Amino acid sequence: MKWKTDDNGWNPYVAGAMAGILAIASVLATTKILGRTNYLGASTTFVRAAALLQRPVARERVAAGEYYTETKIRVDWQFMVVVGIFLGALLSSLTDGSLRAEAVPPTWSRRFGPGVGKRAIGAILGGIVAMVGARMADGCPSGHGLSGMMQLSVSGFVALAFFFGTGIVVARLVYGGRNHE
């Protein structure tokens, strides 16, 4: 089995196996080492990170926030998961040679033009929709789908089917249903 694809990307089978091993290790670390009864849930970390940034200029507002009163705002294991996601993606792109700075990805540029403003608005609105959905679902969609499937949970399988189905529909709407390379 080849470790890399013809375009120098990661072999999806190797990457999938590594993700599975990492998931098992993180479950063991979370439940056995850290003594948690539940598995990862990093979506709240973004809210707490926002509070951490807001606190110096709006202490009263942060103190009154619903999500900020549950626990102290601090750098904890969930925050480190988010940092690890960034570092892992960076390492991955460095090892396969795909790291490049681009304000507007080529696929977006072909469909909507090279303007950064439109891309920024699309990214911000997409992020808002994703975060509102994560809060409504009481957790991260990918985490729910991945950890749910690892546990052979029916809800995990249903959730992933809806994530992929919705992603296909939205991609076809956004990119016009044409084949983009």
pLDDT tens by residue, 41-88: 555 666 777 777 787 888 787 777 766 655 555 666 667 777 888 898
Residue bearing the bigger pLDDT, 75 or 157? 157
Q: pLDDT value at position 55?
A: 79
DSSP state string for 66-101:
TTTSSS-----HHHHHHHHHHHHHHHHHHHHT----
Distances (CA, A) of 66 to 28, 36, 61: 30, 23, 10
Q: How far apart are alpha carbons 8 and 130 in whole angstroms?
A: 30
Q: pLDDT value at position 126?
A: 87
How far separated are the first and last CA of the chain, in Å rounded? Answer: 25
Q: pLDDT value at position 179?
A: 59
